[in-house]
C-alpha cells in the first residue's frame, strides 16, 4: 500500500489590464486531512520575470519548478521555448513522467497551462485554472471578467474565495502575484 501524497489544490490566472494575475489557495491536503493552511503555491522565477503556480503533489511541483527554471535560463527567459522543453522532458524522462502536478506559467504577455501529458495550452478566454477547485474558480473568474471592470488581481482573488466556498480542497488563504510583460516578453 502506498502512502497518501501531499496535494496542493487550486490555482487561477487572469489576464487583463496589460498583465496577468495568478492566485493560489493555501491548503495542502494529505488524503482527507488538511496538513497545512498557508502554503504558497505561486512563485516568481527567472529574475522575477515569470510567475508560476502549481496544483498537485507538492514535492513533484518543486521538482518541476527547478526544471522549468533551468529551461528558462537555457532559453534566456523565452516562455514558450522553455515550456516546450519542459513538457518534452516531463513526458519522456523516466523519473519526471511520474510526477503528478500541473503548472500555470506566465511572463505577463503569454499565459500557458503545462501538464505531464505534454500539453501546452494557451487559454482562449484569458483565464486558466488548475486543481480540484479549478472549475469553480474558472467559472467565477469568467463571470467577473465579463461583467465587471475589476482588475485581474481582484478577479483572481475573488474567484478563489468563491472556489473555497465550494471545494473542500481549497481554502481562502490566498496568494496573488501580478506581472506585466517585460520588454523582451512583449516582442
* Catalytic annotation, residues: 9
Question: Alpha helix (H) ranges present in 33-133?
Answer: 58-74, 79-92
Grid cell of 163 as nine digits: 472556489
Closest CA to 103 of 118, 92, 93: 118
Phi, psi of 42 (to 5 degrees): -125, 130
Cα–Cα distance for residue pair 171/28, rounded to 1 Å: 9
Mutual angle of helices 152-166 and 134-147, in 10-degree steps: 140
The end-to-end CA distance of the chain, in Å, is 51
Phi-psi category of residue 23: left, alpha or beta, with phi > 0 → left and psi -120 to 50 → alpha: beta
Name beta bridge partners: 29.
7, 34
Grid cell of 107 as nine digits: 511572463
Amino acid at each position: 500500500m502506498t502512502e497518501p501524497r501531499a496535494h496542493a489544490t487550486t490555482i487561477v490566472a487572469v489576464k487583463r489590464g496589460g498583465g496577468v494575475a495568478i492566485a493560489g489557495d493555501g491548503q495542502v491536503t494529505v488524503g482527507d486531512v488538511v496538513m497545512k493552511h498557508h502554503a504558497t503555491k505561486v512563485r516568481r522565477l527567472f529574475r522575477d520575470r515569470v510567475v508560476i503556480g502549481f496544483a498537485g503533489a507538492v514535492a513533484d511541483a518543486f521538482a518541476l519548478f527547478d526544471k522549468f527554471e533551468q529551461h528558462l535560463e537555457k532559453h534566456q527567459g523565452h516562455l514558450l521555448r522553455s515550456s516546450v522543453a519542459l513538457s518534452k522532458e516531463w513526458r519522456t524522462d523516466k523519473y519526471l513522467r511520474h510526477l503528478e502536478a500541473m503548472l500555470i506559467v506566465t511572463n505577463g504577455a503569454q499565459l500557458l497551462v503545462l501538464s505531464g501529458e505534454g500539453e501546452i495550452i494557451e487559454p482562449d478566454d484569458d483565464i486558466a485554472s488548475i486543481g480540484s477547485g479549478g472549475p469553480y474558480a474558472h467559472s467565477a473568474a469568467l463571470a467577473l471578467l465579463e461583467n465587471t471592470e475589476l482588475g485581474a488581481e481582484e478577479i483572481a482573488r475573488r474567484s478563489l474565495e468563491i472556489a473555497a466556498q465550494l471545494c473542500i480542497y481549497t481554502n481562502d488563504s490566498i496568494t496573488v502575484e501580478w506581472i506585466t510583460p517585460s520588454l523582451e516578453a512583449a516582442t
